[in-house]
Amino acid sequence: GENVEQHPSTLSVQEGDSAVIKCTYSDSASNYFPWYKQELGKRPQLIIDIRSNVGEKKDQRIAVTLNKTAKHFSLHITETQPEDSAVYFCAASNPNTGTASKLTFGTGTRLQVTL
Amino acid sequence: EAGVVQSPRYKIIEKKQPVAFWCNPISGHNTLYWYLQNLGQGPELLIRYENEEAVDDSQLPKDRFSAERLKGVDSTLKIQPAELGDSAVYLCASQTWGEDTQYFGPGTRLTVL
């Protein structure tokens, strides 16, 4: 089955700096890679996702890059703000195979943005 | 639109007691997932439903866990009997066919004493 590794486990940046979180996956058939943000005690919320037919996707201060050959993808947050502080999870799945569309999550990165 | 609803939000029980969690997915979402999230970890799939059919329950510990989605809408996850190691957050998520995004509920935090 799929295995997703995520680094770093914790990340502290100063407000206004950039943050980068990296994930690797093992199943070359995976083709959908979402990123979820989870604030303390709250539900995971999708912030951006990418499919394997593109290499990069951007939404305001958030971007995701995908390297299919190396089987890794990264989340980039620019101009970080205190409200970006949360735990971020990457995930991978293969939605085109019917019953195999479950998400496999990484172990999470706790991002702290300091003033 | 209303999001995924779960109840209760918190539950504290003694070991060996039964417990049940309820999930109401987003209206019209055919696919429903139950995930287990241990502290400091990512969610792990327990069971996935397509309408009322459980299509992936390979990760569900069937000796003590059971789930149902009788009418293909709401779902209940049950543990009987609960063990200390079951303390975790139980998340429900739903998804509509043809889209990739899974929408999560707020979860039920279970504490087994």
Query: What pLDDT, on the 0 to 100 scale, is given for residue B1?
Result: 58
- Per-residue pLDDT tens digits for A37-69: 999 989 999 999 999 888 999 999 999 999 999
> Does the beta-carbon distance from A32 to B100 stay under 8 Å?
yes
For residue A95, the model assigns a pLDDT of 67
DSSP E strand stretches across B9-51: 10-13, 19-24, 31-37, 44-50
B41/A109 Cα distance (integer angstroms): 9
The verdict on a CB contact (< 8 Å) between B104 and A103 is: no
pLDDT at A94: 79
Q: A102 and B48 in contact by Cβ < 8 A? A: yes
A98: pLDDT strictly greater than 70: no
For an interface test with B, which of A43, A47, A48, A50 has the most B Cβ atoms less than 10 Å from its Cβ?
Answer: A43
Residue B57 is given by DSSP the state: -
Q: Report the distance separating Cα B28 and Cα B16, nearest Å.
A: 36
Q: Which of A6, A32, A105 sits opposite B43 (nearest CB)?
A: A105
Residue of A nearest to B107 (CA): A43
Distance CA A79, CA A112 (A): 13
Question: Does the pLDDT at position B2 exceed 80?
Answer: no
| Residue B43: cis peptide before it, omega within 30 degrees of 0 | no
Kindly indicate the confidence band of residue A100, based on its pLDDT and cuts at 50, 70 and 90: very low
Which residues from chain B sit within 8 angstroms of residue A49, using beta carbons? 100-101
* Mean pLDDT on B31-53: 94
